[in-house]
Amino acid sequence: MTDNNGHTERKTGKTVAKSAVGAVLMFVFAVFVMPPLYDLFCEVTGIGDKTADKYEGAVSAIDESRTIKVQFIATNEATMPWDFEPNTFEVEVHPGEATRITYYAKNRTRRDMVAQAIPNILPTSAVKYFHKTECFCFDQQPLLAGEEAEMPLVFIVDRDLPRAITTITLSYSIFDVTSRFAGEVAGIN
């Protein structure tokens, strides 16, 4: 019987070790691999609107004949201890009109941190018609311990947005990337 218990304990130990290694690998992937891949993907495709510079300054008349509802959502990655939310949950805009809103963030910890916000737009067919000309998601956001900030977003819904789309939802997920930028950002140690 001792043999079976020893065998079971070894199997359990191997399973726990494999699970721990898997968890560490997922963390490393999420913190160190995903942000640069996301930046590269956005640069190549324009989906994250890292190409906003080419839209900024473009002359676009406002289409006052229709109104688009834009909704804003914020979520924290599971281990992110910040308060993070839009100050405005919904606006109605005319295509071609530049609109400015802000998101609120507060670092509730006692340590300086750096965050990265990753956007998502629904419906996905609206992605190429939603242009961010200024966005906190373009850069990492450092906040000192206990510090809070208003983070701006300026966007334009393209006049060429298909008429069937009347509502766009912009969602941001915020991630802790402090370890990736320790020492590089002023005030972050």
Query: pLDDT of 97-120, one tens digit each?
Result: 999 999 999 999 999 999 999 999
Name the burial class of residue 9, with classes exposed (0-12), middle (13-18) and buried (19+) by CB atoms within 10 angstroms of its CB.
exposed
Query: Is 90 exceeded by the pLDDT of residue 2?
Result: no
pLDDT digits (tens, 9 = 90+) for 144-188: 999 999 999 999 999 999 999 999 999 999 999 998 876 654 455
Instruction: Give the model's pLDDT for residue 21.
Output: 74
**Cβ-count burial 119-157 (b if 16+ within 10 Å, e if not):** bebeeeebbebbbbbebbbeebbbbeeeeebebebbbbb
- pLDDT confidence of 51, banded at 50, 70, 90? very low
The answer to whether residue 124 is domain-embedded is yes
Contact 50, 43 (CB under 8 A): yes
Q: Which domain holds residue 135?
A: 46-181
The answer to whether residue 96 is domain-embedded is yes
CATH of the domain at 72: 2.60.370.10
The answer to whether residue 60 is domain-embedded is yes
Nearest to 55 by CA among 158, 177, 172: 158
Please give the tally of structural domains in the chain. Answer: 1
pLDDT digits (tens, 9 = 90+) for 10-44: 777 788 777 777 666 666 666 566 666 565 555 54
The answer to whether residue 20 is domain-embedded is no
DSSP one-letter string for 65-87: T--EEEEEEEEE-TT--EEEEES
Instruction: Give the model's pLDDT for residue 180.
Output: 85
The answer to whether residue 57 is domain-embedded is yes
The answer to whether residue 24 is domain-embedded is no
The answer to whether residue 22 is domain-embedded is no
- pLDDT confidence of 85, banded at 50, 70, 90? very high
Query: Is 60 exceeded by the pLDDT of residue 93?
Result: yes
Query: Is 90 exceeded by the pLDDT of residue 87?
Result: yes
